[in-house]
Structure 1
Amino acid sequence: MAGRLDGKVAIVTGGGAGIGRKFCVGLASEGARVVVADVGDVSGTLAEVDAARGTATGVRADVSDPADVARLVRHALDTCGRVDVLVNNAGIYPTRPIEQMSLEEWRKVMAVNLDGVFLCAKEVIPHMKRQGGGRIVNMSSTTFFMGVPNFCHYVASKGGVVGFTRGLAGEVGEFGITVNCIAPGLTKTDSVEASPVIRETWQMLVDAQAIHRKQVPDDLLGPLLFLASDDSAFVTGQTLCVDGGWTRH
Structure 2
Amino acid sequence: MARLVERSIIVTGAAQGIGAAYAKALASEGAKLALCDLAPPDETADAIRSAGGTVLARACDITQPAAVAAFAAEVEREHGGIQALVNNAALFGNLALKSLEDITSEEWDQVMRVNVRGTFECIKAVMPAMRRQGYGKIVNIASATVFKGAPMMLHYVASKGAIVALTRSVAREVGDAGIRINCLAPGLTMSANVEANQDWAGRIVEANIASRCLKRDAVPDDLIGALVFLASGESDFMTGQTIVVDGGSVTH
TM-score, structure 1 normalization: 0.96
- Give the superposition deviation at 1:58: 0.4
Work out the percentage of aligned pairs sharing the same amino acid.
Answer: 43
Q: For 1:49-64, list aligned pairs within 5 A.
A: 49-64=48-63
Contact 2:39/2:58, CA 8 A, preserved across alignment: no
- 1:41, CA displacement in angstroms? 4.1
Q: Say yes or no: does 1:159 pair with 2:161.
A: yes
- Contact 1:4/1:30, CA 8 A, preserved across alignment: yes
Asked if 1:111 is matched to 2:113, the reply is yes
What is the CA-CA distance between 1:80 and the residue it aligns to?
1.3
Is residue 234 of structure 2 the alignment partner of residue 234 of structure 1? no
1:20-77 deviations in Å (ceiling 9; x for gaps): 1111111111111100111134121012212322111101111111122112212212
Aligned to 2:228: 225
Aligned partner of 1:132 in structure 2 is: 134
Q: Which amino acid aligns with 2:170?
A: L
Query: What one-letter code is carried by the residue in structure 2 that aligns with 1:86?
Result: L
Q: Which moved more, 1:35-44 or 1:111-120?
A: 35-44
Q: Which amino acid aligns with 2:89?
A: A
- The match for 1:75 is 74
Corresponding residue of 2:250: 247
Residue aligning to 1:202: 205
- Contact between 1:25 and 1:52, CA under 8 Å: does it hold in 2? no
Q: What do you get for the CA RMSD once the two structures are aligned?
A: 1.2
Residue-pair matches, total:
248
DSSP-derived class of the 2:250 partner: helix
Of 34-43 and 204-213, more deviation after overlay is shown by 34-43
Q: Does 1:98 align with 2:100?
A: yes
**TM-score scaled to structure 2, two decimals?**
0.95
1:179 Cα shift? 0.3
Structure 2, gaps ≥5 residues long: none
The amino acid of 1:68's aligned partner reads A
Q: Is the 8 A contact 1:137 1:179 kept in 2?
A: yes
Pairing 1:192–2:191 present: no
Mean Cα deviation higher: 76-85 or 113-122: 76-85
- Matched residue, 2:42: 43
Return structure 1 stretches of 4+ with deviation > 6 angstroms.
Answer: none
What amino acid is the match of 2:161?
Answer: G
